[in-house]
Each structure stands twice: as structure tokens, then as C-alpha cells.
Amino acid sequence: MTNVAVISFPGSNCDRDIITAVNHITGTQPTQYWHKETSMEKHDLVILPGGFSFGDYLRCGAIAARSPIMDEVMEHVWRGGFVLGICNGFQILTEAGILPGTLMRNKQLQFVCRDVTLSLHHTQSNAILGQCDDNRQLVIPVAHNEGNYFADPDTLKKITDKEQIALTYTNTGAANYNPNGAINDIAGVTSDNGRVLGMMPHPERKAEAIHGGLDGHYLLTSIIEAAS
């Protein structure tokens, strides 16, 4: 049984949604931590949910990345623990320096909320994807203002060579298949030990039949199993 923790910051607004989805998959309620907390039990998987931590009035995730609880998350990472950051959680992980690159304002300068088609890249370098099929396509929605992934050429080369690009927006032929202008269509990256994943799309929003698809359920199930 995977022991999951979910961290809430002021302005997190997808914490309940990911808790519901994890509970749906594992049958157990994840442990919830408030950003002010200074200690954390041992967990197999720590999830940083989506939202607008601290209103995102500064750079997204910048203040949350300096919250007391992040010292605990950092320790968990150093111990080789699994971490999933979704949307604002991804932004927090890049701001904390746990994941490479940064997330800039969407190219079209507008919030975007819709389904996107993603390609999974499952290699030896990203253990967190567990039993996911390499090259599988997933339809999962995005909802963000700042999802335009960017990394400098050296970083980009490094994460490409080390196969840390776990998710890309699939070129379906539609003009706007990439919803935010992310470089190399990057939708999600892993840490160099392959155990931390940050992704802009929201798997918890395709986790039940009423969501009109179960691709998020597939991805979350694989991640939870990988972390057990």
C-alpha cells in the first residue's frame, strides 16, 4: 500500500481533487500537510497539487517553494522519495530547484483550460512512470496561465540526453496542439533520478468515468504503484 502525502499551500485549490482521486485508487485517505508544518512523517509519494499558491502574484510557486514544509519535501527528495507536482506543484518544484527549467506565461497571454493530447516517454530514466507504456497517448486537460516550459540550451540538452522529458504535447495536426508555447512541446519533466515528476496537465481531472476519460486514472495508478 502506497503511503501518500498531499501538501496544501494557501491558494492550493486542487488538493481536495487529488486526494479524492488517490483515495479512489488506493482506498485510503492521503495525509494532508499545511505549508506551515515543520515535520513530516515518512511517505512513499508526496504530491504538490495545483492551484494558485499565495495567489501567484510573484512568480508562480516562488513563495510556496520557500514554505517551512518544503524543507521536509526536500529531505524526502534527498532520500530518493517519489514526488509528483501537478500544475502549480510543477511550478513550485522548478522554483525550489528540484526540477530543471522554468514555467513562463503562456505564449498567447491567456489562461487556457481544455483537453490536450499527451505522449508518454517512459524510459529507464523515469522510474516514477512505473508500468506506463512508452509512447502511449493520453488525453488529459490543462488549466493554467503559466505553463510555457522553458530551459536554457544546456539544460535542454541535458534533460533530453538523460531522457527526463516524460510528457510532451502530441502534434495532432491541430494548430494549437501545444497549449502554451512550451519549448519542444514539453508538458512534464522528471528529476535526474527519475523519481520526481512535474507536469502541467491535471491527471486528477480524468480519474473517474464522469470526467469523460480515464487517462489520468491510468497515469496516477502507475505512479502510485511505482512509489509503493
Partner 1 sequence: MSMEAEHTTPDQARDMGLSADEFDRICTRLGRIPNLTELGIFSAMWSEHCSYKSSRRWLKTLPTTGDQVIHGPGENAGVVDIGDGMAAVFKIESHNHPSFIEPYQGAATGVGGILRDVFTMGARPVALLNALRFGEADHPLTRHLVSGVVSGVGGYGNCIGIPTIGGETHFDASYNQNILVNAMAVGLARADRIFLSAASGLGNPVIYIGAKTGRDGIHGATMASAEFSEEDMSKRPTVQVGDPLAGKLLMEASLELMASDSVVSIQDMGAAGLTSSSVEMSSKGGMGMEIDLDQVPIREKGMTPYEIMLSESQERMLVVLKPDATERAQAIFDKWDLDFAVIGRVTDTGHLVLTSRDAVVADLPLDPLVNDAPEYDRPYDPPSTPQPADHTTLVQEMALSTALKQMMGSHFLASRRWVYEQYDQHVMADTVIESGGDAALVRVHGTNRGLAVTTDCTQRYVLADPYQGAMQAVAEAYRNITATGAKPLATTNNLNFGNPEKPAIMGQIVGAVKGMGAACSALDVPVVSGNVSLYNETDGNAISPAPVIGMIGVIDDIADAVGIAITDTGLSVYIIGQTAAANDGWLSNSVYAHVIVDHDHPDAPPPVDLALEAKHGDLIRHLTKQHLVAAVHDISDGGALVALAEMVMAGQTGADITLSPDQLTHGWAFGEDQGRYLVATSDPTALEAAAAQYGVEIQKIAVTNDRQELKLGDSDIISSTELRGVFEHWLPALMESKPR
**Contacts with partner 1, residue ranges (CB under 8 A):** 10-11, 13-14, 16-17, 20-21, 34, 50-52, 54-57, 110-114, 141, 143, 145, 202, 204-205, 207-208, 210-211
Taking the complex as a whole, how short is the minimal distance between the CB of residue 114 and partner 1, in angstroms?
A: 5
Task: Indicate which residue of 87, 95, 122, 132 is catalytic.
Answer: 87
Active site residue 202: yes
Taking the complex as a whole, how short is the minimal distance between the CB of residue 213 and partner 1, in angstroms?
A: 11
Give the residues across from 114 on adjacent strands: 142
Active site residue 72: no
Nearer to partner 1, 13 or 155 (CB): 13
Nearer to partner 1, 51 or 89 (CB): 51
Taking the complex as a whole, how short is the minimal distance between the CB of residue 107 and partner 1, in angstroms?
A: 13
Nearer to partner 1, 39 or 135 (CB): 39
Active site residue 43: no
Taking the complex as a whole, how short is the minimal distance between the CB of residue 118 and partner 1, in angstroms?
A: 16
Annotated active-site positions, please?
A: 87, 202, 204
